[in-house]
Amino acid sequence: MDAKIDDKLLAAALAARENAYAPYSKFTVGAAVLADDGRIFTGCNVENASYGLTCCAERNAIFAAVSSGARSFKALCVVADTDAPVAPCGACRQVLAEFPFEKIILANCRGQVKITTADELLPYGFGADALTKNK
Ligand code: THU
């Protein structure tokens, strides 16, 4: 995948971050997903007065993509205003592991980027293979 696509995804994630609804934490996050068919879907974090109902940017982007029929993906980019490229939360790592992403791009608002994979983010994670013996 060429660097121009990474730049496009980062720009989409930064734009989505502008829509973040984070009145409680004030920590705004944006994410963008590139589907195999070339479509890009975005998400931002959406908080709630009942804090536990908050949904992260990564999950909102993935759920938007899946809701539009995408099932396999080339990349996901997530960005926040952190010192180092932002580290996805554990729940998002589990959701990322559900889908075949070729690469995951962690970024911050200073343009620092770390390229990683779902396996690297969630080693020894729970997966569908564990459910097969119940079929
Ligand atoms: N957040 C994300 O959107 N993605 C992450 O991977 C980490 C955390 C959001 C959730 C909450 O709205 C705020 O950041 C602070 O935790």
Closest Cα to atom 5 of ligand 1: 88
Write phi, then psi, for 43 (nearest 5 degrees): -155, 160
pTM here? 0.96
C-alpha 58/C-alpha 28 separation (Å) is 12
Nearest protein Cα to ligand 1, atom 14: 27
Which letter does DSSP use for residue 87 in this model? P
132 has pLDDT over 90: no
Q: Is 70 helix (H, G, I), strand (E, B) or coil?
A: coil
19-31 pLDDT tens trace = 999 999 999 999 9
Ligand 1 centroid to 86 CA: how many Å? 10
Helix (H) or strand (E) holding 3: helix 3-17
pLDDT band (50, 70, 90) for residue 133? confident
Could you report the per-residue pLDDT of 58-110, keeping only the tens digit for each? 999 999 999 999 999 999 999 999 999 999 999 999 999 999 999 999 999 99
CA of residue 27 to ligand 1 center, whole Å: 7
Confidence of residue 135 (pLDDT cuts 50, 70, 90): low
Please give the pLDDT value at position 36: 97
pLDDT surpassing 70 at residue 112: yes
Ligand 1 centroid distance, CA of 53 (Å) = 12
> Burial, 46: exposed, middle or buried (Cβ in 10 Å; 0-12, 13-18, 19+)?
middle
18: three-class secondary structure by DSSP: coil
What residue owns the CA closest to ligand 1's atom 3?
56
pLDDT of 82 reads 98
User: Does the C-beta of 60 come closer than 6 Å to ligand 1?
Assistant: no
Domains of the chain and CATH, by start: 3-127 (3.40.140.10)
Per-residue pLDDT, averaged over 7-27, amounts to 98
Active site residues: 58
